[in-house]
Amino acid sequence: MSAPSANDASGTLRVAVLAGGRSSEHDVSLSSAGAVRDGLLARGHEAVWVEVGRDGAWRRDGAGEPLSLTPGRGLLGVDLAFPVLHGRFGEDGTVQGLLEMLDVAYVGSGVAASALCMDKVLFKELMSATGVIPQVDYVDAREALYAERSVELLEQIAALGLPVFVKPAHLGSSVGIVKVTDAERLPEALEGAFAYDPRVIVEAMAPGVEVECAVLGVPRHDREAPSAAAIASTPGEISFAGDFYDFDSKYAPGGMELRVPAGISEPAAERVRALALEAFARAGCEGLARVDFFVDRERVLVNELNTMPGFTPTSVYAKLMLASGVAYPELVERLCRLGIERHSAQRAHVF
């Protein structure tokens, strides 16, 4: 099947919705992908369900024999793929690289940006290098280094003060995160995080409220200026019942509440939107992202960037875009058009 023109906003699309995946966020991905499929159908497009099992095998409709993929030969005759995969082996550049080898257009950031943003430490190091993006203080903790120089690493962490948050560097959805309020519990927290990931990030406690901002790409023909490659949503404020914004707060019924717009000053909200676009551009992201912040009065700190956030209509990203005037089915279609546009632009270059 020949790909539609990047500027054709009326043609019916045949989209492979990639769901599941090998990571601990498998079930979250299934929910997000189901919503994407429904959004595509609501806009009159064809959705081809491709489920990635916990074993890593790709199966059409989630059953039967694994799919056989041939480099350069596409995927089930689709126009593009929507990789609604969260976490490792989906959001980290691996699937994006596979889709590049298949020569299939896809939604979201490319290989490099996906890999960079999946690594919380690398993302923070890049943002620090810009000199213009303020962040939460942190320590990079590697399993091999901890085994050799645990005392030195624990001293670096102690300099952050207490409490601190210990996080696997490559996981999302708050999986494996522990809040540590007692220095004697740090070794236990680190060992627990190392069970998920050989690289761990330890972050200082940040005052203020948690604020999130959605970023959405703008098609080239709709841009007011060449630099206007994306828009930022109205910021939203996260409130939750637990001690911190953990997995249960995110996904248990009643675990969190999103307030839109966020209860912050207008200058702080504008700062959030500007920093969200800055982080998105500096990381080389495309299509979409959700950028998370801590806001304390007029002080705004970037925490992290998620290139494929939770994607049901009730997820934070979709709610923020809806509050900014983009309904869910329109959002899903727009992301597909952006993926096709990028693929067409890439083909115009000589490799």
User: Could you tell me if residue 219 is inside a domain?
Assistant: yes
Report percent pLDDT > 90 for the chain: 82
CATH of residue 193's domain is 3.30.1490.20
The CATH number linked to 79 is 3.40.50.20
Residue 334 domain-assigned? yes
Q: Is 73 inside a domain boundary?
A: yes
Q: Which domain holds residue 34?
A: 14-107
CATH of the domain at 308: 3.30.470.20
Domain boundary among 157, 172, 204: 204
Among candidate residues 290, 334, 337, 342, the one labeled active-site is: 290
Same domain, 226 and 302: yes
Q: What pLDDT is attached to residue 228?
A: 81
pTM here?
0.91
pLDDT higher than 80, residue 221: yes
What's the CA gap between 261 and 217, in Å, rounded?
21
> Strand 256-259 relative to strand 236-240: parallel, antiparallel, unpaired?
antiparallel
Model confidence pLDDT, tens digit, residues 282-304: 999 999 999 999 999 999 999 99
Same domain, 268 and 120: yes
Catalytic option among 237, 246, 304, 341: 304
Residue 251 is a catalytic residue: yes
Phi, psi torsion values for 350, nearest 5 degrees: -95, 125
pLDDT at 172: 65
What pLDDT score was predicted for residue 243? 62
Please give the pLDDT value at position 9: 55
Instruction: Kindly name the residue from 29, 109, 114, 173 that is annotated as catalytic.
Output: 173
Q: Do 86 and 36 meet the contact criterion of CB atoms below 8 Å apart? A: no
Expressed in percent and rounded to 5, the helix, strand and coil fractions of the chain are 35, 25, 40
Mean pLDDT calculated for residue range 7-35: 89
Encoded amino acid at 40, one letter: L
pLDDT value at residue 38:
97
Judge whether 42 lies within some domain: yes
Closest CA to 274 of 326, 237, 235: 235
Annotated catalytic residue, options 292, 317, 328, 339:
292
Question: According to the model, what pLDDT value does residue 222 have?
Answer: 87
Q: What is the pLDDT of residue 171?
A: 79
CA 237 to mean position of chain CA atoms: 18
Q: Any catalytic annotation for residue 292? A: yes
- Answer yes or no: 290 catalytic: yes
Q: Are 262 and 276 in contact (CB under 8 A)?
A: no
Residues 187, 225: one domain?
no
- How many structural domains does the chain have? 3
214 and 326 both lie in a single domain:
yes
Q: What is the pLDDT of residue 4?
A: 40
Residue 9 to residue 241: CA distance in whole angstroms: 43
Could you tell me which residues are beta bridge partners of residue 53? Answer: none
Q: Which helix (H) or strand (E) holds 257?
A: strand 256-259
Model confidence at 20: pLDDT above 80? yes
Over the stretch 131-180, which tens digit does the pLDDT of each residue have? 999 999 999 999 999 999 999 999 999 999 999 999 999 876 466 789 99
306 catalytically annotated = yes
Contact call for residues 280 and 339 (beta carbons, < 8 A): no
- Options 23, 24, 25, 341, the catalytic residue: 25
